[in-house]
């Protein structure tokens, strides 16, 4: 690779203290985000995808802490930054879009007052300059009327509008990395597509990198370049989007893809669901965490965690499965 | 807006009438004939002359049925005549307006003290949740809340005499800028401060967990600004709504504090007039007390939409 | 919601109503302050129940030779101006305090539940009228009202009881306790009911419209089951919290009224009238004030801690964080 990646996360572990002692909710995750790349992070609720991105900005909730690993950006480890340096990263180097546009805005402050904050605290703009720039940002994210909307309070906007404002807020200082944490989950299906299109369009214009967290594989397929699939705090598969669709390798990824409805195909096909639920982070089995739900599991799966192995000998596509990658034969 | 205020104020009229009616009924049916009360307490040389009493009763309209008398009272009240004290014979209005400034000044300073001391303490406790500092602040607040003013007052008074043996005993009234006012102020503000510290702490802790605070941090807003702008603004809303409650705590607290420290305010007047069964004064004080609470509740409702834009819209929608 | 702490483990709750309370109990006893409050309240109840068998002396027996004694091994809390044992009176006062707390809170809660529920269910004009009454009751200066009620009604009531006693010679009419019950407790309940009425009304309004109640109805569950398993457990939490705080409030209020001379009638010992007696002589005999004041303060703090602990344990919205 010619240039170094924008962000490198290595062996990240996050512990959450629970009544039964610490539980590892993120267990040795590693991934890179290249400059200008859009990375999709996919997994079901509780797999550790949100908390991973929160840790990058030092926004872990009380009781959670990074217990191992590092995250390199601009040649610095994000986990050991001083408070002022971390503040510069937040909003300045990494913009963040949260899931619920209803609760993520301060209800007693005007949209404009919240939108200008990154400009004031990172760019040092005066209030008036920032206000003007905020109006432009609103037009950029496709809010008609732009400036006039700045005087509105959050409850006066619809959910989709609010999410557009949220995107404008995340991009206000043109950070090289934008993290979107399930930004469409709380929205109507038609609005979801609009938001995805908007981000796609903005990426083409501004050229930032994106980490898009979702549990909806179909939604992001047209937006991201590469996908990593998380299960129970571990990366189980990573691949370029086309490779993943063409040859899903981990049984969990296969399950995810199989449960997507398609337009072509049999008319009355029952969508297959993955049976069971993910294991409790406090008491994960020693082997592959997916083993209890896996249709292909063998005895080895319950004893040892499979390593991430290249699929078809290519390093860009890797999966962590004893059975489907052929790692078992190699180990034997 | 004006129509809203007008509607609220109009409701006060039947409310106050009902309250006055209740106290008047207590006086009429419970305590009995005011003239007899006066004569019962009169010095020994005034003869108890039934004929004379009957004459006074008739001239004062006291032989009339309850509702007629109450009606007269209200009519007089509307003309600014609050009646006369049964004991001193002085007009009720003059008696109350002589005592009111003492209590009002004490009350206002207490409210300011409460806001200035309690809100920052509550915030500090919340920001250091579950630390020793938090426990110290919360513990003191709970202790202050549990010590009634009539116990705290005498205790502090004697503590002061012990610490400053030559000093003046803090008893009596010399204006709001007199040193003697410090101790009563301290005692009076103890419970409101305890109340607001706990309220503020709870509100800050709740707001700190909100998503929008995380959003503000994710934007790189400095912590101080996060605390002042994003946390304090929403916190003020529930705290300000406690004003009515504080008003009642203050009115109740003033009764004890003025009694213990010998301050000539409405609180002491209240106790004195109930001991004397001086109903015209009791009625006057009831009217003022109830109006104060109603006014502060209206103020809260008027300020609320300014603090929380969502509330304003909800009311317009109704 | 993608908080990692929420991942579902294997199902382990066979009966969710039982585990709701067991869960709340577990959270309550994990809170040290709440356990302290619970312990003090339990002790208070125990002392109130078996107190008369515990006391070293009778709370009324006077000893002219042992007046105003400082605390000693014979009289742990000393004796008062009539030579009565202060510890015995404090212990008996626990019974009075608990009686005041339970009776007053009981009456206030009953009025509140009745008016609040009617207002919440009926809505419209009935609701507006009841809420108007509640507002009025909350704007009357409360201490003043109680003092006025007691000073104006106590003498005629006492006279009436005396007359009745002379007429019938029935000892029932010599018990001042009845005056306490009717006037002191009654007037206290009269100023304490409005917050309960507001709370109950709000609970009725909000729970009636919750989705899970609609869902339970849509499932065709019988009304009794819906009320018992869906409405009551969800409505009960805030009420329990309010009652726990209210019990402490009522005890403090009684002492305030005793200070003003309208509390429980002597010679029945209450912490309130012991404090107000103690205030007169405390420069020379501080123990007469210190003992009841400390016990009252301890009880208030205990109820306050317990209330806060119950609030945390029973309010599902807060334990998510």
CATH ID of C31-295+306-318, from 1.10.10.10, 1.10.3720.10, 3.30.70.980, 3.40.190.10: 1.10.3720.10
Q: Which residues of chain C have a CB within 8 Å of the CB of A18?
A: 5
| CA–CA dist C318, A291 (Å, integer) | 35
B153, B197: one domain: yes
Q: Tell whether the torsion through CA atoms of B142, B148, B149 and B153 is positive or negative.
A: negative
pLDDT band at A263 (very low <50, low <70, confident <90, very high): low
Angle (deg, nearest 10), helices C287-314 and B149-163: 130
Q: Which residues pair with C79 in a beta bridge?
A: C85
Residues 6+ apart with CB under 8 A from B252: C141, C142, C143, C256
Give domain status of residue A145, yes or no.
Answer: yes
Give domain status of residue A92, yes or no.
Answer: yes
Give domain status of residue A176, yes or no.
Answer: yes
Give domain status of residue A254, yes or no.
Answer: no
- Is residue B140 packed enough to be buried (19+ CB in 10 Å), middle (13-18) or exposed (0-12)? middle
Query: How many CA atoms does the CB half-sphere of A310 hold within 13 Å?
Result: 5
Q: What is the pLDDT of residues C174-187, one digit of tens each?
A: 776 677 777 888 88
Residue A115 forms contact with B (CB below 8 Å): no
Greatest alpha-carbon pair distance for chain C in Å reads: 78
Q: What is the pLDDT of residues B208-252, one digit of tens each?
A: 888 899 999 999 899 888 888 888 888 888 777 777 677 777 888
B12, B114: one domain: no
Count Cβ atoms below 10 Å from residue A225 Cβ, excluding itself. Answer: 15
Q: What is the pLDDT of residues B139-194, one digit of tens each?
A: 888 888 878 888 888 778 777 777 776 666 667 777 777 777 888 899 999 988 98
Q: Do A107 and B225 touch (CB under 8 A)?
A: no
Q: Are the beta carbons of C272 and C263 closer than 8 angstroms?
A: yes
**Neighbors of chain A with 3 or more C-beta pairs under 8 Å:** B, C
| SS3 category, C266 | coil
The closest CB to that of B220, out of A92, A156, A166, belongs to A92
Q: What is the pLDDT of residues A294-326, one digit of tens each?
A: 888 888 888 888 888 888 778 889 888 888 877
Q: Mark out the alpha helices in B90-229 (DSSP H runs).
A: 92-127, 132-146, 149-163, 182-208, 211-218, 223-225
Q: Are the beta carbons of B220 and B283 closer than 8 angstroms?
A: no
Give domain status of residue A206, yes or no.
Answer: yes
The closest CB to that of B248, out of C142, C301, C304, belongs to C142
C 109-168 residues with CB < 8 A to B: 132, 135-136, 138-145, 147-149, 151-153, 155-156
Cα distance from B173 to chain A (closest Cα, Å)?
Answer: 44
Task: Identify the helix (H) or strand (E) that includes residue B44.
Answer: none
Q: Do B150 and C279 touch (CB under 8 A)?
A: yes
Residue A135 forms contact with B (CB below 8 Å): no
| Angle in degrees, CA C155, C160, C163, rounded to 5 | 125
Residue with tokens 């999966």: A319
User: How many structural domains comprise chain B?
Assistant: 2
| pTM assigned to the model | 0.76
Q: Which residues of chain C have a CB within 8 Å of the CB of B7?
A: none
Omega before C267 within 30 of 0, i.e. cis: yes
Q: Are the beta carbons of A16 and A23 closer than 8 angstroms?
A: yes
Per-residue tokens: B34: 């005011």
What are the C-alpha distances in Å from C10 to residues A232, A280, B140, C129, C255?
15, 8, 44, 51, 53
The CATH number covering residue B172 comes to: 1.10.3720.10
Q: Which residues of chain B have a CB within 8 Å of the CB of A167?
A: none
Residue A172: closest CA among chain B residues belongs to which residue?
A: B219
Give strand ranges (E) for chain A: 7-18, 21-33, 38-42, 64-73, 76-77, 94-97, 177-181, 209-214, 226-231, 234-240, 309-311, 314-319
Q: Do B277 and C282 touch (CB under 8 A)?
A: no
Per-residue tokens: A39: 């990375």
According to the model, what pLDDT value does residue B167 have? 60
According to the model, what pLDDT value does residue C8 have? 37
| CA–CA dist A45, A99 (Å, integer) | 13
Task: Identify the helix (H) or strand (E) that includes residue A116.
Answer: none
The closest CB to that of B290, out of C140, C279, C283, belongs to C140
Greater pLDDT, A20 or A102:
A102
Give domain status of residue A283, yes or no.
Answer: no
Residues 6+ apart with CB under 8 A from B251: B267, B289, B292, B293, C141, C143, C144
| CA–CA dist C269, C60 (Å, integer) | 9
The closest CB to that of A48, out of C1, C4, C9, belongs to C4
Q: Do C305 and B142 touch (CB under 8 A)?
A: yes
- Average of per-residue pLDDT across A182-193: 82
| SS3 category, A145 | coil
Q: Do B212 and A104 touch (CB under 8 A)?
A: yes
| CA–CA dist A55, A99 (Å, integer) | 16
- Reported for A270-278, long-range contacts at CB under 8 A and 24+ positions apart, including other chains, are A277/C7, A277/C8, A278/A44, A278/A46, A278/A47, A278/A231, A278/A232, A278/C7, A278/C8
Greater pLDDT, B286 or B240:
B286
Q: Which of A215, A142, A222, A223 is nearest to A185 (CA)?
A: A215
**Which residue range(s) make up the domain with A118?**
36-49+81-224
Q: What is the pLDDT of residues A55-89, one digit of tens each?
A: 999 888 888 889 999 999 988 999 999 988 999 99
What are the C-alpha distances in Å from A255 to residues A156, A260, C210, C272?
41, 9, 35, 71
Q: Are the beta carbons of B223 and B66 closer than 8 angstroms?
A: no
B136, B74: one domain: no
The closest CB to that of C144, out of B32, B275, B285, belongs to B285
According to the model, what pLDDT value does residue B25 have? 85
User: How many structural domains comprise chain A?
Assistant: 1
According to the model, what pLDDT value does residue C221 have? 74
Q: Do B248 and C152 touch (CB under 8 A)?
A: no
Q: Which of C227, C218, C275 is nearest to C251 (CA)?
A: C275
Q: Which of C130, C98, C300, C101 is nearest to C192 (CA)?
A: C101
**Which residue range(s) make up the domain with B173?**
99-316
- Is residue C172 packed enough to be buried (19+ CB in 10 Å), middle (13-18) or exposed (0-12)? exposed
B75, B208: one domain: no
Residues 6+ apart with CB under 8 A from C46: none
**ipTM of the prediction greater than 0.85, yes or no:** no
Angle (deg, nearest 10), helices C142-168 and C186-208: 120
- Using 70 as the pLDDT threshold, list the residues of chain C that sit under it: 1-20, 54-78, 80-83, 176-177, 211, 223, 226-233, 266-267, 282-283, 315-321
Residue A56 φ then ψ, to 5°? -60, -35
Q: Which of B141, B259, B127 is nearest to B190 (CA)?
A: B141
- Average of per-residue pLDDT across B46-61: 68
Q: Of B36, B71, B92, which residue sits at a domain end?
A: B92
Residue A90: closest CA among chain B residues belongs to which residue?
A: B220
Q: Are the beta carbons of A37 and A223 closer than 8 angstroms?
A: no
Give domain status of residue A245, yes or no.
Answer: no
According to the model, what pLDDT value does residue C2 have? 37
Q: Tell whether the torsion through CA atoms of C6, C11, C12 and C16 is positive or negative.
A: positive
According to the model, what pLDDT value does residue A304 have? 83
According to the model, what pLDDT value does residue B316 have? 42
What are the C-alpha distances in Å from A206 to residues A8, A24, A134, A213?
21, 37, 16, 20
Q: Do A18 and C4 touch (CB under 8 A)?
A: no
Q: Are the beta carbons of C233 and C314 closer than 8 angstroms?
A: no
Laid out side by side, the sheet with A234-240 consists of A94-97, A177-181, A209-214, A38-42, A226-231, A234-240, A314-319, A309-311
Q: What is the pLDDT of residues C192-238, one digit of tens each?
A: 899 899 888 888 887 777 767 777 777 777 767 766 666 666 777 77
Q: What is the mean pLDDT of chain A?
A: 85
Residue C275 forms contact with B (CB below 8 Å): yes
Greater pLDDT, A219 or B50:
A219
pLDDT over 80 (residue A149)? yes
Question: Can you spell out the DSSP letters for A8-47?
Answer: EEEEEEEEEEETTEEEEEEEEEEEEE-TT-EEEEE--TTS
Q: Do B221 and A106 touch (CB under 8 A)?
A: no
pLDDT over 60 (residue B317)? no
Q: What is the mean pLDDT of chain B?
A: 81
């Amino acid at each position: 690779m010619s240039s170094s990646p924008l962000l490198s996360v290595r062996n990240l572990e996050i512990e959450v203290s629970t009544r039964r002692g610490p539980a590892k909710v993120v267990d040795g995750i590693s991934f890179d985000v290249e400059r200008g790349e859009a990375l999709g992070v996919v997994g079901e609720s509780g797999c550790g995808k949100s908390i991973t991105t929160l840790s990058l900005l030092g926004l872990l909730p009380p009781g959670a802490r990074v217990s191992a690993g590092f995250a390199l950006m601009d040649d610095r480890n994000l986990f050991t930054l001083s408070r002022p340096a971390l503040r510069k990263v937040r909003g300045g180097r990494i913009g963040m879009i949260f899931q619920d546009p209803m609760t993520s805005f301060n209800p007693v402050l005007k949209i404009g007052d919240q939108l200008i904050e990154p400009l004031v605290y990172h760019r040092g703009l005066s209030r008036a300059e920032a206000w003007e720039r905020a109006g432009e940002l609103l037009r950029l994210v496709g809010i008609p009327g732009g400036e006039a909307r700045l005087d509105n309070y959050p409850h006066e906007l619809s959910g989709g509008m609010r999410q557009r404002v949220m995107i404008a807020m995340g991009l206000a200082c043109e950070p090289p990395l934008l993290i979107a944490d399930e930004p469409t989950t709380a929205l109507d299906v038609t609005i979801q597509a609009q938001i995805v299109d908007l981000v796609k369009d903005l990426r083409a214009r501004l050229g930032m990198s994106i980490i898009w967290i979702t549990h909806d594989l179909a939604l992001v397929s047209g937006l991201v370049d590469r996908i990593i699939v998380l299960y129970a705090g571990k990366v189980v598969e990573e691949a370029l989007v086309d490779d993943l669709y063409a040859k899903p390798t981990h049984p969990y990824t296969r399950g995810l893809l199989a449960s997507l409805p398609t337009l072509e195909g049999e008319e009355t096909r029952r969508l297959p669901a993955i049976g069971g639920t993910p294991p409790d982070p406090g008491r994960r089995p020693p082997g592959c965490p997916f083993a209890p739900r896996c249709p292909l599991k063998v005895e080895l799966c319950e004893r040892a965690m499979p390593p991430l192995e290249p699929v078809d000998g290519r390093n860009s596509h890797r999966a962590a499965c004893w059975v489907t990658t052929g790692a078992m034969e190699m180990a034997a | 807006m004006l129509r809203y205020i007008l509607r609220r104020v109009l409701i006060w009229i039947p409310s106050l009438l009902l309250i006055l009616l209740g106290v008047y009924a207590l006086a009429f049916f419970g305590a009995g004939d005011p003239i007899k009360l006066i004569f019962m307490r009169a010095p020994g040389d005034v003869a108890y002359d039934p004929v004379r009493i009957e004459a006074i009763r008739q001239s004062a309209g006291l032989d009339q049925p309850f509702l007629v008398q109450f009606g007269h009272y209200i009519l007089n009240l509307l003309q600014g005549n609050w009646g006369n004290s049964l004991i001193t014979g002085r007009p009720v209005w003059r008696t109350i307006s002589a005592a009111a400034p003492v209590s009002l000044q004490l009350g206002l300073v207490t409210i300011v003290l409460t806001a200035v001391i309690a809100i920052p303490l509550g915030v500090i406790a919340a920001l250091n949740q579950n630390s020793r500092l938090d426990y110290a602040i919360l513990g003191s607040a709970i202790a202050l809340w549990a010590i009634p003013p009539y116990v705290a007052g005498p205790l502090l008074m004697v503590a002061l005499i012990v610490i400053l043996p030559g000093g003046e005993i803090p008893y009596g009234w010399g204006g709001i800028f007199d040193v003697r006012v410090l101790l009563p102020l301290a005692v009076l503000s103890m419970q409101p401060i305890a109340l607001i510290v706990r309220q503020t702490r709870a509100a800050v802790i709740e707001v700190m967990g909100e998503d929008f605070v995380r959003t503000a941090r994710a934007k790189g807003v400095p912590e101080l600004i996060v605390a002042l702008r994003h946390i304090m603004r929403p916190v003020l809303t529930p705290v300000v709504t406690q004003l009515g409650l504080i008003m009642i705590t203050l009115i109740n607290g003033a009764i004890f504090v003025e009694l213990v420290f010998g301050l000539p305010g409405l609180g002491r007047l209240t106790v004195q007039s109930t001991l004397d069964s001086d109903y015209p004064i009791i009625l006057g004080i009831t009217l003022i007390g109830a109006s104060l609470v109603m006014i502060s509740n209206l103020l809260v409702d008027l300020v609320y939409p300014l603090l929380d834009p969502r509330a304003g819209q909800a009311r317009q929608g109704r | 919601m993608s908080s990692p702490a929420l991942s579902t483990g294997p199902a382990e709750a066979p009966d969710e109503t039982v585990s709701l309370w067991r869960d709340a109990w577990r959270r309550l006893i994990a809170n040290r302050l709440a356990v302290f409050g619970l312990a003090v309240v339990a002790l208070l109840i125990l002392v109130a129940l078996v107190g008369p068998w515990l006391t070293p002396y009778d709370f009324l027996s006077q000893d002219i030779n042992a007046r105003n004694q400082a605390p000693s091994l014979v009289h742990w809390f000393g004796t008062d101006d009539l030579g009565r044992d202060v510890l015995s009176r404090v212990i008996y006062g626990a019974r009075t305090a608990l009686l005041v707390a339970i009776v007053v809170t009981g009456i206030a809660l009953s009025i509140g539940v009745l008016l609040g529920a009617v207002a919440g269910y009926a809505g419209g004009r009935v609701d507006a009228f009841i809420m108007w009454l509640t507002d009025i009751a909350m704007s009357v200066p409360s201490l003043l009202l109680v003092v006025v009620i007691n000073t104006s009604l106590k003498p005629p009531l006492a006279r009436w009881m005396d007359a009745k006693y002379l007429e019938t010679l029935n000892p029932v009419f010599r018990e001042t306790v009845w005056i306490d019950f009717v006037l002191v407790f009654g007037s206290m309940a009269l100023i304490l009911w409005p917050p309960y009425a507001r709370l109950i009304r709000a609970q009725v309004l909000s729970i009636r419209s919750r989705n899970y109640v609609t869902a339970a109805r849509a499932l065709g569950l019988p009304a009794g089951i819906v009320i018992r398993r869906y409405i009551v457990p969800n409505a009960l939490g805030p009420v329990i919290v309010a009652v726990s705080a209210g019990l402490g409030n009522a005890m403090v209020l009684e002492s305030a009224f005793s200070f003003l001379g309208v509390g429980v009638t002597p010679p029945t010992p209450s912490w309130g009238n012991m404090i107000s007696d103690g205030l007169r002589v405390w420069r020379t005999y501080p123990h007469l004030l210190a003992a009841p004041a400390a016990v009252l303060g301890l009880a208030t703090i205990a109820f306050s801690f317990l209330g806060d602990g119950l609030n945390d344990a029973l309010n599902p919205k807060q334990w998510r964080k």
